[in-house]
Chains A and B, each alone.
Chain A
């Protein structure tokens, strides 16, 4: 059974903005990346799934339950993009109140609270009032809240927006940990690096429209670029099908090239070609595309196909 499933789900604000016509299904035990630039409708989509917003049209299900029902939210965790918690509570009291709402049995409560506090790295700091928390600490306590009820599906809306590099790594590790436990993580992000190392599957949204979805690698390898460092100062050592390359500067008898590829599969071909000509290769490094480039690629693809469709 799909953990999340939507059918032409649409939420617009008086006909403007929001996100339209999203059909997707998310399986169990994966990290699903929902990628898009600012204002593309990511938060709108998640908030609609959680019943905070009333869908304009279409339908959605979480764990088989129609969205908007209390049942659909029983095994769900959520870290909002604008995480604000009652600042007169202490971190621990906040978690206790949520444990109450999730009907976690009293006996397991304290143990579970300690567990999640540990998981988000807030041990020893949970007895302070939230009003005295830094932004990063609030986001961490929000994460603790999101995983408190051991949910099957966890929605994280830009979970690292307030975190330092260590915190970002912690969150990445946490997502992997959750996935390894068979949970599904739905991650909203506009940061490529946040998504790349953990997401199994992504969708790309742009201006309220879903423009592509699929396995991470496939979607990102749109405009593969590699950096290759070869020996010497030879000119143009590449096979003829490579037409677009730039020669960088030569250092210590080595030359740095930036090569534009059609697909990822060209990389081994180039290496074959180079080794058959006995050219030494010191380094091959894929250059990650900028998210904007990936977006533009898929936006253009979408427009083209729409054009073809119209013909």
Chain B
């Protein structure tokens, strides 16, 4: 099983697209850092005069928004990469018949699927964690004192764990589709669902804002169907403590969260991923290749 994981890992790393991704990520981080730097400088100058609640509110709002933007985009890149790398993993090898010589070895189908999953999940979660901490470091470090939010280590650890659930779920789901569908179809389904989850999340936010339960419910149903966007929002809450903070509404915005996914949702997402892997194993077990 570990041989398959190692191969999967190495395969992605050896591809040119991996280098491109790393370079693009670095460029993104550099741009983000620059933006944070100037925003921090400007903010500090503007904020210098006022000491009242208003100034603090403004500082908190702008700062968390900027961090939110960075993390949102990171979560988006991670999601896209997780989808693209997982949907082709089995279907691609089946259609090229590359899989034949691996599967004729004394390894079981379950070991093969699990090996693939481990390799992908390890790589993508490592990527997500690195990206998360890069953003946090840039945000807290470059943006002067004015920009820095008060983040506790425990908060960070919780947030990054929830942040990593997203690629975990996406890879499990992509792998499941890829045991049965062609790469293209699996990719389309995954991306559509990702988009639907995003819109569902948006509707839920909006519903919470205007206090319409039916809208909130639509969002909740969507996050049950595909618990991706809810994980992003849970992460922002863990990071900003939005929901039970008096400042919560002020901090809320496009990239942070008003309606709160509960802890149950986190466990649901983990379970969702695990079940998807189990289904993938089951679905591949007796399939002709």
Contacts and interface: CB of A to CB of B under 8 A. Distances in A.
A52 B7 CA distance: 20
Given A50-B104, A86-B98, A101 B289 contact: no
Contact of A52 (B14, B98, B100, B107): B100
B286 interface: yes
Nearest to B95: A84
| Interface size of A as a range | 20 to 34
A82 B97 CA distance: 7
A101 B98 contact: no
A53 B289 CA distance: 6
Interface in B35-61: none
Contacts of A70: 106-108
Contacts of A84: 96-98
A80 B14 contact: no
B100 A71 contact: no
A151 to B, nearest CB: 10
B214 interface: no
A246 B275 CA distance: 75
Contacts of A51: 103-104
- Looking at chain A's contact residues, the main secondary structure is loop
Contacts of A254: none
A74 interface: yes
A209 B64 CA distance: 71
Interface string A64-77: 00000011011010
Interface in B51-103: 96-98, 100-103
B14 A85 contact: no
Contacts of A74: 106
A85 B101 contact: yes
B25 interface: no
A25 B232 CA distance: 60
A147 to B, nearest CB: 13
A142 interface: yes
Contact of B3 (A88, A100, A145): A100
Contact of A78 (B7, B11, B104): B104
A54 B105 CA distance: 16
A97 interface: yes
B288 A101 contact: no
Interface in B204-259: none
Question: Closest 3 CB pairs between A and B?
Answer: A101-B105, A100-B3, A70-B106
Interface of A: 47, 50-54, 70-71, 73-74, 76, 78, 80, 82-86, 88, 97-98, 100-103, 142, 145
Interface of B: 3, 7, 11, 14-15, 96-98, 100-108, 286-289
